[in-house]
Structure 1
């Protein structure tokens, strides 16, 4: 299982992902699920992946091959990351590649009882177009993050959702949003062991066309321990500050 988050903010984009791809009694493997593409100085793309590992790796390899071929031939295909003019075109391109990869292996995987499906979060900026964030579904279509729904999740999303809903907003600083996404990852890991470290964070400021910070937190990172201790302490304090029940108030006055 996987858990990845993309967060759209007025000041840019934040991405977070875990690295666990298989969890069992005697087998745990880790792969990065965050990919960065910068085919030209005026464009940057960050891709998060969840689902069948072979599918996601094939899609990433296909994207890189297309970029290499465009650069080598100095010709535009009109649809790849190097030549698209809008972020939604890039999302549609990745969706088409994903569908093609899935179709190629679907029959064999179905016979083995395995799904070929994969889901992606794509974020970035092209030229002077606004920065944006898309979720690309296994069927190839995509949905865009908005100020009303600023974050997108793929994988094991339910455990890490409450902090994003309760604390998040589009006017957070990039660093606060990064902390929020990271605690969402940590809380998910505590509730579901199929999600696990190393955790990766990437911060992309608006209009910069660059990844300002990309950080990996291993399982033993002191920041993770301090983060969960601080969060748990704040939750305990909030619990004690919740309104009393009527019978408690009566006991206090008796």
Structure 2
């Protein structure tokens, strides 16, 4: 399984993904799920993937090829005039890849995938998209300021309660770490290391990039303190009573 999350802030974009893939408890591997292309000072584009590994790797490889040798009828990620067009090209490629793989394997469900696309092109706003296996996509908005793919349910409650578009990048990273810690604790199919990418508004490059492993002291502190504070909060809640007053 997978867990990836991207959020839009007033100050830019923050992305985080896990790296675990597995086909059973005895077959666990680490694969990068976050991929980034940039033209320093002009644009940065990042993609996070979830779903069938062969499908997502095929899409990423094709996108990489197009940045080096664009096809006549397709636009390279490094040349597309808008992030909307990048999302359109990516959606079409994902749909074609899923359809081809399903046809070759005579199935309709095993080879699906979804992606989160984030980035900024000079002269435009930072933008965040969710791209579906059917090729269609939606863009983040004030009503939906963050996207999750993969194993989303365990890490979602803290995002809903803690997210604030005006928060600092540092607080956004802290919020994502709590979200990922909650997911790691609840689901063994999501695993470390984690990949973190911060894209500050108008930086057109990686403001901060980091791989966070299980020995990372900050992540360990976040996990320990969060668990302790949750237990403290639980014990401060009003007591239940079986005499009818609770």
Aligned residues of 2:16 and 2:196 also touching (Cα < 8 A) = yes
Aligned to 2:44: 44
**Is the counterpart of residue 180 in structure 1 residue 211 in structure 2?**
no
1:19 aligns with 2:19: yes
**Is 1:174–1:203's contact at 8 Å kept on the other side of the alignment?**
yes
Alignment of 1:23-34 (within 5 A): 24-34=24-34
Q: Show the counterpart of 1:200.
A: 195
Tell me by how many angstroms 1:187 deviates.
1.0
Instruction: Output one character per residue of 1:153-173: Cα deviation in whole Å (capped at 9) or x when no partner.
Output: 000000000110111111110
**TM-score normalised by L of structure 2:** 0.92
Q: Does 1:225 align with 2:214?
A: no
More helix by share: 1
Q: Does residue 125 of structure 2 align to residue 130 of structure 1? A: yes
Report the equivalent of 1:154: 149
- 42-51 vs 230-239, which moves further: 230-239
The count of residues paired between Structure 1 and Structure 2 equals 245
Q: Offset at 1:116?
A: 1.5
Change (3 A) 1:175 1:163: same
Query: Using the alignment, how far apart are the partners of 1:76 and 1:129 within structure 2?
Result: 26
TM-score, structure 1 normalization? 0.89
Residue 5 of structure 1 is matched in structure 2 by: 5
* Higher Cα Rg, which structure: 1
CA deviation profile, 1:164-220 (whole Å, cap 9, x unmatched): 011111111011101111221121011000000001111000011011111111123
- Which ranges of structure 1 fall in alignment gaps of 5 or more residues? none
Deviations, residues 4-43 of structure 1 (Å, cap 9, x unaligned): 0001000000000000011523211110100001146411
> Secondary structure of 1:209's match?
coil
**Displacement of 1:115 after TM fit?**
1.4
1:164 matched to 2:164: no
Cα-Cα RMSD: 2.2
Counterpart of 1:118 in structure 2 is 113
Corresponding residue to 1:83 among 79, 83, 90 = 79
Paired residues of 2:37 and 2:78 also in contact (CA < 8 A): no
